[in-house]
Structure 1
Amino acid sequence: MRLILVGPPGAGKGTQAARLVEKFGIPQLSTGDMLRAAVAAETPVGLQAKAVMDAGGLVSDEIVVGIISDRIAEADAQKGFILDGFPRTLAQADALAQMLADSGIKLDAVIELRVDHSKLVNRIINRAEEAKAAGQPVRKDDDPEVFKQRLEAYNRDTAVVIPYYEKNGLLTVIDGMQAIDEVTADINAVLSKLDEKV
């Protein structure tokens, strides 16, 4: 099962990915985690990434795809994987498609958790207020202004990959505003249909 989860920050991708990891026994591949691991392991691509990051630059698509390519070749990803936070741009989507084709691997599905952005901001504001009321620290990402900036960045950069996957017939849209268990049930229904096709 090779999946991509797409959706804005706060849509619930992390929660759903964790449930899929448990259900299918496949790894969730977060680009941030993979970058840090590659740098720590001092792989050739990791060393390239470290040089760019140490210079204060943004890691190129080529380096990120190289890190993903190395990671999906590892034993635990042979049964499949969940990509979270990648691809973020059309260039990355193209590079990923080429890399998977070169490896003889195909994506099974791209699942978009579609949410109402105005309600999403309210959800984050409520989460921050609940944390404050409980005397807990508010997550940096739950600052409404920071969150709005992340949402704008998502709409500007990442949302463009959705039509790309729709055109390729890989996209399934799920209502991310439902209760968590309902979202999980919808994702499982989509994936069980894929299993039947295999």
Structure 2
Amino acid sequence: MKIYVAGLPGSGKTTQTEKLGKYLNLPVAQMGVILRKIAVEDGEKGEMMKQVMSTGQLLSDEEVAQIMGDEVSGEEYKDGFVMEGFPRTEKQVELFNPDFDKVIYLEVSEDALVKRLLGRGRMDDSEEAIKKRMEVQKAGFEQVLGCYRDKLVKIDGEQSVDKVFESIVAHLKDES
């Protein structure tokens, strides 16, 4: 099974992806984790990634699709996975579409998102970077969700972490 957990920054998609991966015994492919690993590498690639992340910029669709495609081409992903952080644009869907079985969208208000993000303390979470990421991601996100309309499940992401997870699992059980 291939599942995409989607949501804007701060929606809880990383937490839910990890919980779902453990629950379903599937590997997780998290774009943010992959990019942060690159950012701590020595050399030009690591420095470039640090700069991109600290200013809230996004990589090109081609770069992101290549990074995620490389990640999930490994043997551990052949039987399925839980993915988050990709795709974020319609072009990314066109460049690399893992043919998800289910797309779970965590709905959270903008006020709640900003509050959550400021509380995480990550290097890429300055208020300016948060606002820029949200603005850029909102622009293409509705189109991405439209690409998966027939596989889309919307979950109230403002519930507690456990309640959100219970809602996801209940929906997956209803579908099987």
TM range, normalised to the smaller chain?
Answer: 0.7 to 0.9
Structure of higher RCO (CA pairs closer than 8 Å, 6+ residues apart): 2
C-alpha distance in 1 between matches for 2:37 and 2:165:
29
Q: What is the rounded CA distance, in whole Å, between the counterparts of 2:171 and 2:92 in structure 1?
A: 25
Q: Does 1:192 align with 2:169?
A: no
Does structure 2 retain, via aligned residues, the 8 Å contact 1:35–1:64?
Answer: no
Match of 1:178 in 2: 159
% same residue: 35
Q: Closer, same or farther in 2 for the Cα pair 1:32/1:184, shift >3 Å?
A: closer
TM-score normalized by the length of structure 2: 0.76
Unaligned stretches of 5+ in structure 2?
A: 39-44, 53-57
Gaps of 5+ in 1: 39-49, 101-105, 129-137
Q: Give me the whole-angstrom Cα distance separating, in 2, the residues matched to 1:113 and 1:148.
A: 19
Count matched residues: 165
Residue deviations 1:150-198, cap 9 Å, x none? 22122123343122222xx01110000011100000111122233x2xx
1:6–1:112: 8 Å Cα contact kept in structure 2? yes
Query: Could you tell me how far apart the structure 2 residues matched to 1:67 and 1:28 are?
Result: 14
| Residue 67 of structure 1: how far off its partner (Å) | 3.9
Contact 1:89 1:157 in 2 (8 A): yes
Query: Which is higher, the Rg of structure 1 or of structure 2?
Result: 1
Does the CA-based 8 Å contact 2:90-2:147 persist in structure 1? Answer: yes
- Cα pair 1:174 1:186 within 8 Å, conserved: yes
Which is helix-richer, 1 or 2? 1
Query: What is the RMSD computed on CA atoms of the aligned residues?
Result: 3.2
Alpha-carbon distance in structure 1 between the residues aligned to 2:128 and 2:157:
22
